[in-house]
Amino acid sequence: DGGITQSPKYLFRKEGQNVTLSCEQNLNHDAMYWYRQDPGQGLRLIYYSQIVNDFQKGDIAEGYSVSREKKESFPLTVTSAQKNPTAFYLCASSMSRQSTDTQYFGPGTRLTVL
């Protein structure tokens, strides 16, 4: 089955610890994205990557970092510099950078910082 995998589904961390969220896709898509969703709000873009070894900041990149060493993988690290990291994190991918391309979403990771 083709799709986007995010793991784990639930993640708990202590304050001050860095944590890395996994995102893998086997759709052969060039572009990948990370969004953050807070209760009652829409999604906000953290980072995106249009090609391997390249990525761009989104609207709320502070306190986050990413890498894109392989086409199918786009991990997100939530650092201790992120002031309010508890949220639902969604990864997405699309075939290319064309604006008409549909973005396909993974099931999400719910991060809770204790």
Residues that bind other proteins (CB under 8 A): 4, 6, 31, 33, 40-45, 48, 50, 56, 58-59, 90, 92, 97, 99-100, 102-108
Q: Environment class of residue 44 by beta-carbon count within 10 Å: exposed (0-12), middle (13-18) or buried (19+)? A: middle
CA distance linking residue 106 with residue 108, whole number of Å: 6
Cβ 101 to other proteins shortest distance, Å: 8
Instruction: Dig out the tokens for 3 from the structure.
Output: 């799709």
Nearer residue to other proteins within complex by CB, 18 or 26: 26
Nearer residue to other proteins within complex by CB, 50 or 80: 50
Cβ 65 to other proteins shortest distance, Å: 19
Nearer residue to other proteins within complex by CB, 9 or 83: 9
Cβ 42 to other proteins shortest distance, Å: 4
Cβ 43 to other proteins shortest distance, Å: 5
Nearer residue to other proteins within complex by CB, 46 or 113: 46
Rg (CA), the chain: 13
> What is the dihedral angle through the alpha carbons of 40, 6, 50, 52, rounded to the nearest 10 degrees?
150
* CA–centroid distance for 20 within its chain: 10
